[in-house]
Amino acid sequence: MQQTSESTQMDEIIVFDAIPFGPCLMAASAWNRLKLIMKAAEERIGLCFALLGKIRGSNIIVTETIEISKLSGCSCPYTSEQIRSIEKEAAKQNMMFVGLLHAHYSGSVPTPSDQELVLWLALMFKFDRPLLFFVISIESLKIAAYTIPPDVFAQLKDAIKLMKFEVEKK
């Protein structure tokens, strides 16, 4: 019983200490760590982070950012299996994978590459749920946030059907 009480108190502290972060909240401690990592980043090296968090009511709260890759250019070398492994470890700490954040040295306006958007959409279909996606400019700390509401994601899944068929050989 005490663990539940301590867990609830910790959740309340995280919500109280969270800052608005686009379509969600981010724990101030996670934001501060993220800024430190970006300040230490080498020029022209992009970073990619898995965002871990909790859902409280209608809010998603990012409580942890895990660096998953240093990128040369805009290709992202992570796989859905690596993300699943991160989520399994996060579940042990009562968290879940809620999205991705790409940090770019692309000037002051954060703009995702086409490849990053495709990877984000593909991950949503693999995880069978909407995921958050952010791009942040390392220089300016400006952020672009992307999300798909759950009902729209359900419609998208219904609209995209894989049809298998064979062509008769002659």
The per-residue pLDDT for range 49-100, each reduced to its tens digit, is 999 999 888 889 999 999 887 544 445 567 888 899 999 999 999 999 999 9
pTM: 0.79
pLDDT in tens, 19-62: 888 899 999 999 999 988 888 876 656 788 999 999 888 889 99
**Residue 60, H or E segment:** strand 59-72
* Residue 25 CB partners (closer than 8 Å, separation 6+): 15, 18, 19, 59, 60, 61, 62
Copy the structure tokens of residue 97. 């994978």
Question: Residue 68 and residue 65: Cα distance in Å, rounded?
Answer: 9
Report CA torsion sign: 137, 142, 17, 12: negative
Domains of the chain: 2-159 (3.40.140.10)
| Confidence at residue 71, expressed as pLDDT on a 0 to 100 scale | 47
**Residue 38, H or E segment:** helix 28-39
Report the DSSP beta bridge partners of residue 60: 55
* Residue 22 CB partners (closer than 8 Å, separation 6+): 132, 134, 143, 145, 147
Q: For 101-128, what is the mean pLDDT?
A: 85
Pairing mode, if any, of strands 96-104 and 143-146? Answer: unpaired
Pairing mode, if any, of strands 24-27 and 59-72? Answer: parallel
